[in-house]
Amino acid sequence: MNALLSMYAWLETGVVALTGFCIQAPLVVTWPFDKRKVVTGRAFRLIGVTAARLNPFWKFGVHGKPVRPAGRTVVVSNHESNADPFLISYLPWEMKWLGKASLFKIPVVGWSMWLAGDIPVRRGEKDSAQEAMATCARWLDKGMPVMIFPEGTRSKTDELLPFKDGAFRLAIETGADVLPVAVSGTRRALPKHSWRFATARALVTVGTPISTKGMTLADVERLKNMAREQILSLRASLMPHTSAGLSASTEPEREVSSR
């Protein structure tokens, strides 16, 4: 039964992605008036939200009432699974995402990422990383937040992987705030190296912005630790609502503000 439902979920996701792209693509006519690509960006995030809401396995939402960040903000989150982008897209503001260059080569999805203004990076290539950070800096200069997973890849366990320096160097060099975000429950939603979905309640929550005013590159490690501590605390606050799963949860629906 799980295999059949998983095949349905993948089919549903594909249909939503294709339909969404057909709606998103004509919106490029807004680009001359929308230099930050907010319209095409939000269209892509809503594709992800729609796919998640129609997935028979998932119940996703936002915990609390997140406040829209300042435009010059680097958003950082823990990374549990490929379901994380679907969940984080529930946050009610646009931001440009740093993602693996290979994702941009996927038909339809990659095209939508490009239309949204997301930023490709090739892992392990210094020149690509520098170019990607420069692109992130340009978005920040336009007042557009950027979204980065500082672990660089999905963690296989409940332990956070070491944070890479890139997001924090970027924030200090551009004078941007760092906004910690935490997800919980997505590891079960779509386990790493598995094509099968699983029943999961997953939530995303937003922390307190960390100002980089007065910081230098010598403060990168301290900034990383500050963000990591907040993410760990935020994730811990979500676990009581996500660890029991859908069947045992009694959390009132009002806790999930975007559902």
Residue 108 near residue 19, CB atoms below 8 Å: no
Tell whether pTM > 0.85: yes
pLDDT band per the 50, 70, 90 thresholds, residue 244: low
- Let me know the angle formed at the C-alpha of 209 by 257 and 185, rounded to the nearest 5 degrees: 45
Burial of 73 (0-12, 13-18, 19+ CB in 10 A): buried
* SS3 at position 2: helix
Residue 242 near residue 81, CB atoms below 8 Å: no
Segment among 36-45, 147-156, 208-217 with least mean pLDDT: 147-156
Q: CB atoms < 10 A from the CB of 14, how many?
A: 13
Instruction: Tell me the percentage of the chain whose pLDDT exceeds 70.
Output: 93
Residue 57 near residue 198, CB atoms below 8 Å: yes
**All domains of the chain, ordered by start, with CATH?**
2-255 (3.40.1130)
Mean pLDDT of the chain: 91
Distance of CA 185 to the CA centre of its chain: 14
Please report the pLDDT score of residue 105 as a whole number.
95
User: Is residue 5 pLDDT above 90, yes or no?
Assistant: no
CA distance 209 to 55: 32
**DSSP class of 156:** S
* SS3 at position 102: helix
